[in-house]
Amino acid sequence: MRITRMLGAALLALGVAAGPAAADSSPSPSASADGDAPTRAGTSFRTATEIDQGQQATASGSTGDYLYWSFPADTGQRPTVKATVKLPDAHGSETWQLDVYDGLRRRQSCQYGAQSRTAAQGAGSVELACVLRTVRGWAEPWANDPLPGTYYVRLTVVDLAAADLGKPVGAEVRVDSRHIGGAAAVDGSLGKPLVPGIAVTSQKDADGAKGAVLSSFGSDDGWSSGWWSDRWVWTGIGAVLAALAGIGGYVLTRGSGRPSRVPPNV
């Protein structure tokens, strides 16, 4: 009976801790639709339009333009970038491509998704998607792993007929992310996020001197989510279960506790 009560308490603790962990795996909430959504795109990395996750941005342009947006991504997030290009009424076959770059302007590979797609002649629109790898808190300098900071989205046509060049098009871009949690945690953290503009953005300190600051992305207490992750929860659960298993094994093997009867000497 005692062992049953201990196992019941352990299972209850497991269920309580598994609740927040399951919530971490759900998609991040979408931003409410409002009038603050960007309606234009940049034409280069330096002029990329900033958008938030969960916010749908729109832009108008011409076939052949490079359209740029930028968004923030933090440790443990797996961003998904989706784009829809609204094509003119009359056009030939053309291929559009969606590329994502990190703060160092390194092109990031997509786990899955239609990163490049060809629109048939007369098609009204074409949809593209790119699911990035999970953002890591730390990586080797030579690695191309996604790290916390700013990410760039570039949308452009890569193959079309010369007669279609310059025709007006519309674009819609949206970025959402799924929080992976402790499953993607690593033993290390990035000193500073990969956010461009640190050298060109400045503010005055108490002495009046100017010092470099980060871009507008990020919260007041820094970029990183901190040292806490749900991996600590599962580690604690494992320790509790190991202790209960040890106690249960001792209870089962210690016997009744009474000394055995010793036969008298003959």
Q: Is 264 left (phi over 0), alpha (psi -120 to 50) or beta?
A: beta
Token pair of 233 as six digits: 């929860």
Q: Which tens digits make up the pLDDT trace of 92-150?
A: 999 999 999 998 899 999 998 889 999 999 899 999 999 999 988 877 778 888 888 99
Would residue 159 count as lying in a domain? yes
Per-residue model confidence (pLDDT) at position 199: 39
Would residue 136 count as lying in a domain? yes
Average pLDDT over residues 161-176: 93
Would residue 261 count as lying in a domain? no
**Domain housing 86:** 30-191
Q: Which tens digits make up the pLDDT trace of 41-50?
A: 999 999 999 9
CA 192, 193, 197, 202 torsion-angle sign: negative
At 120, which CATH number? 2.60.120.380
Helix axis angle, 2-24 to 230-253, nearest 10°:
170
Give bridge partners of residue 194 from the DSSP assignment.
149
Reduced DSSP (H G I as helix, E B as strand, rest coil) percent helix, strand, coil of the chain, to 5 = 20, 30, 50
Structural domain total, the chain:
1
Would residue 264 count as lying in a domain? no
Would residue 161 count as lying in a domain? yes
Would residue 260 count as lying in a domain? no
Would residue 207 count as lying in a domain? no
Assessment of whether the complete model's pTM goes beyond 0.75: no
The DSSP code sequence of 78-132 is EEEEEEEEEPPSS---EEEEEEEE-TT-PBPPEEES-SEEEEPTT-SEEEEEEEE
Would residue 229 count as lying in a domain? no
Q: Is a pLDDT exceeding 80 seen at residue 208?
A: no
Residue 22 dihedral angles phi and psi, to the nearest 5°: -65, -35
